[in-house]
Amino acid sequence: MKSIITLLLLCISIPVLAQSTPATHNKFQKEYNALEFKIKTDTDSLTHVISQKMNKLSYDVKTELNDLQAKYGSSNVKLALYQKKYERKTLQIKTKYELRIAKIQGEHQAAMSKIQLKFQTEISRLKLKYKIANN
């Protein structure tokens, strides 16, 4: 008799749970989609800013190298006289800009990590709010 009552209660409770779950799941999905859109927007914005910085940096290094070329390598005589100095200054410029590029890439990586952490935190908060198990 107990097993029949248990089976009966189980059969009654399953449809009730099934009806309540899609509503909360739909709310969760809507909030998740909004969060995903916000994170994508933040990521795109960050990527755009970083691209602008990298493009500016590329322009600056090309300008500096062209100025150096005009100063030391504009003629064969100047190039022969100042070959070592020209090579040393070229190396200094390249090293300086490689360091700046590494700094920008580090900033980008740190900002992306913050965005990812924020996203994971918000997903966990939503799962707790709607009592959805981690899959």
- Give a yes or no: residue 115 inside a domain: yes
Which residues of the chain carry a pLDDT beneath 70? 1-21, 133-135
Question: How do residues 15-39 score in pLDDT, each as one tens digit?
Answer: 444 444 677 888 888 999 999 999 9
- Give a yes or no: residue 5 inside a domain: no
Please report, for residues 51, 95, 122, the alpha-carbon distance to residue 118 in angstroms, rounded to integers and kept in the order given.
22, 35, 6
pLDDT of residue 16: 44
pLDDT of residue 122: 93
pLDDT of residue 78: 82
pLDDT of residue 114: 96
* Number of domain units in the chain: 1
pLDDT of residue 134: 60
3-state SS class at 93 = helix
pLDDT of residue 13: 44
pLDDT of residue 131: 81
CA–CA separation, 60 vs 64, rounded Å?
6
Domain membership of residue 48 as a residue range: 25-130
pLDDT of residue 21: 65
pLDDT of residue 133: 63
φ and ψ at 74, to 5 degrees? -70, -25
- Give a yes or no: residue 118 inside a domain: yes
